Structure 1
């Protein structure tokens, strides 16, 4: 859904002291991607006019990572040299924003907010309205509370550090997401002060200003509490990881994949599967993986950026990275398939075999304790145990060619 004159500000400058890390908080990984990458993907899906990302701690590392991540919309990096609060952070982006536009404010450490919730928030924040995204939590500790009057109208957001004991009992919380006209946002931000226990400029203070100026504040509820859960500690990051992994596992099983134990499967990228795929316990999938029909993946395999064709069987503790596995191939256990490896139909690669940057033709076998690197192996070849293609002379790599129907005996060393 496209919103004309929509500008998004993503706040991503914080250090995250409780993470006990030298890395910017928004660069910690969730399901194989940085927290900030999840937020930017969702922001990108709204088709805004511009996305502004406010960065501070670890700014250079953040920028370097995202240079290689193209999106539909370009985004502008904005520096917050001193972390003086969320209001101060938003203010750094305002000089680059059209004051007639609607501004949507997101948080780089709240990764699972849905496109649907943000669309509803933006619609509610058009014109003279101010819209905030709220949620009801069983345990609201750590969040600002939504204070409503007798008419159930939003009157203010009270940060927990400044809340009274009675106010801390409120279970409706502020998620931080706001949609508001840019011109009015600037007007209210100019009036902020830091007279609070944290000595920070709270973005949330603009809500009470809007109310006192006669503007209506709409509270839009997010359905799933996990969708608005922020990450301030390793424990919260772990809780979100398990939540997203459970959801991904559920979707895979609904599509016809058998997961022997959904709690012991991790998808850290994208996975496309055919029918009757069976995945045993402890499997990790990274990057972009395509699995065909009737494939079995054994326990504790790690598969990254690979294609596995129909009928393949990958035995336990096998690592496949950047490989193309043909139909009815058998690999493992304890095998390693490295980038550039292509195994044609009915190939057998056995235990403690490593294949790198090589193609192995139909029906060929490398069953035991071998290294095949920078090689072309023909059809119906048998390579004996302990065989090595000696591809490196200390300075350069060299290629080995083995024709069809060749028999290579055990403990052979093929010097390229």
Structure 2
């Protein structure tokens, strides 16, 4: 058994945001990329990373989010954040799950970040296995101005400095806060409970766990990840950007698995599309939900397919 298999993991997914910038009656995390809700992508990544338990924090006015979770991941526990008082407050809404998860680690994810990958979560977990009490995902940006900076000294993350509070020297730092965090389970609840709300907004910020951990002499480490991995979706433009990244990744994966895309940029995939090797896809094809294509089949140009299983004898 490897170290990760012997290090039980609880994934806490924060999905209570109102998403007012989406200008929609649909909860933000239910908007789709690749015909799958944003939240569904995060749940899938946590499952692929081998999370042993899932806790999803939802808002009091979005019952459809809880229903979706129960349908997709019936083993997950859902918790309601009745007041939106910051990210640390949101994680503590899942207190019963944290209290029963005493060993291993806790990964805190965001339900509006659909591009997070299982490998990234595994890297955060490995950092905790190797002794860090807190691991923070960070990314390098050529345009870091709006982001909090990760202040790293001698391999240790000393602080997260918000852009508005940063000195000129700190603003020159390009390693930015990605939001996603990991905690060793034996320190997680204790650290969260020490976070206060003495700030202008009166909210409890998850990032303050870094300061608390350092003050207690615990190891805090930044883990560099690709910027697109932790892209959050807050408006329609960001939703569009996430869709484009998803499609680019999915086309690349299809070709690496032996699929021919004669005009790759014109082919659109769903998250559950299954194509066997030696499938040939002509231009301007849309794979809707529930499509499976067997080895050697050809998909003609301008096809729009949904809920169908195609074998070579049945060319679309």
Q: Is the counterpart of residue 249 in structure 1 residue 251 in structure 2? A: yes
Whole-angstrom distance in 1 between the partners of 2:134 and 2:13 = 18
Structure 1 CA distance for aligned equivalents of residues 279 and 96 of structure 2: 55
Aligned-residue offset at 1:40 = 0.8
Equivalent residue, structure 2, for 1:303: 305
Please say which of residues 289-298 and 129-138 is displaced more in the overlay: 289-298
Shift of 1:64: 1.8
Which of the numbers 99, 117, 141 marks the counterpart of 1:137? 141
Partner of 2:173: 170
Q: What is the DSSP-based 3-state SS (H/G/I as helix, E as strand, rest coil) of the residue aligned with 1:112?
A: coil
Q: Which SS does the other structure have where 1:140 is aligned?
A: coil
Following superposition, the deviation at residue 289 of structure 1 comes to 1.8
Query: Residues 89-136 of structure 1, C-alpha deviation per residue, up to 9 Å, x if partnerless?
Result: 111112332363221111111122221221121122245632212111
Aligned to 1:285: 287
User: Does the residue aligned with 1:266 lie in a helix, a strand or coil?
Assistant: coil
Q: Deviations over 1:177-209 (max 9, x none)?
A: 222233433223223222334432110011011
In 2, distance between residues paired with 1:118 and 1:66?
20
Q: CA deviation at 1:37?
A: 0.7
Distance 1:263 1:131, change over 3 A: same
Structure 1 CA distance for aligned equivalents of residues 73 and 121 of structure 2: 22
Tell me if 1:189 matches 2:192: yes
1:218 aligns with 221
Are the equivalent residues in 1 in contact too, given 2:115–2:228 (CA < 8 A)? yes
Could you list the per-position Cα deviations for residues 139-185 of structure 1 after superposition, in whole angstroms to 9, with x for gaps in the alignment?
23443210124x35311112335445553332111212222233433
Corresponding residue number in structure 2 for 1:401: none
Q: How far apart are the structure 2 equivalents of 1:85 and 1:254?
A: 42
Gap change, CA 1:94 and 1:105, over 3 Å in 2:
same
Cα pair distance change 1:256/1:60, threshold 3 Å:
same
- Counterpart of 1:82 in structure 2 is 83
Q: CA deviation at 1:280?
A: 2.0
Q: Please tell me whether the aligned partners of residues 34 and 243 of structure 2 are also in contact (alpha carbons under 8 angstroms).
A: yes
More off after superposition, 179-188 vs 232-241: 179-188
Higher RCO, 1 or 2 (CA under 8 Å, sep at least 6)? Answer: 2
* More helix by percentage: 2
The one of 19, 22, 27 equivalent to 1:19 is: 22
SS of alignment partner, residue 245 of structure 1: helix
In 1, are the aligned partners of 2:254 and 2:275 still within 8 Å (CA)?
no
Change (3 A) 1:255 1:57: same
- CA deviation after TM superposition for structure 1 residue 77, in Å: 0.3
| 2:85 is the counterpart of 1:91 | no
Separation in structure 1 between the aligned mates of residue 121 and residue 295 of structure 2, nearest angstrom = 37
Q: Secondary structure at the match of 1:37?
A: helix
Q: TM-score, normalised by structure 2?
A: 0.88
Structure having the larger proportion of residues in strand: 1
Q: How far apart, in 2, do the equivalents of 1:279 and 1:3 lie?
A: 46
Equivalent-residue separation in structure 2 for 1:159 and 1:28 (angstroms): 29
- Corresponding position: 1:10 with 2:13: yes
Query: Aligned in 2, Cα 1:70/1:129: closer, same or farther, shift over 3 Å?
Result: closer
Q: Which runs of 5+ in 2 are unaligned?
A: none
Give the Å deviation of 1:12. 0.9
Give the alignment of 1:191-206 within 5 angstroms. 191-206=194-209
Flag the 1:295–1:180 CA change in 2: closer, same or farther, 3 A: closer
Conservation of the 8 A alpha-carbon contact between 1:278 and 1:294: no
CA gap 1:217/1:296 in 2 versus in 1, 3 angstroms: same
Which secondary structure does the structure 2 equivalent of 1:200 belong to?
Answer: coil
Shift of 1:82: 1.1
Q: Tell me what 1:358 maps to.
A: none
Aligned residue for 2:269, secondary structure, equals strand
Structure 1: stretches of 5+ with no match in the other structure: 315-416
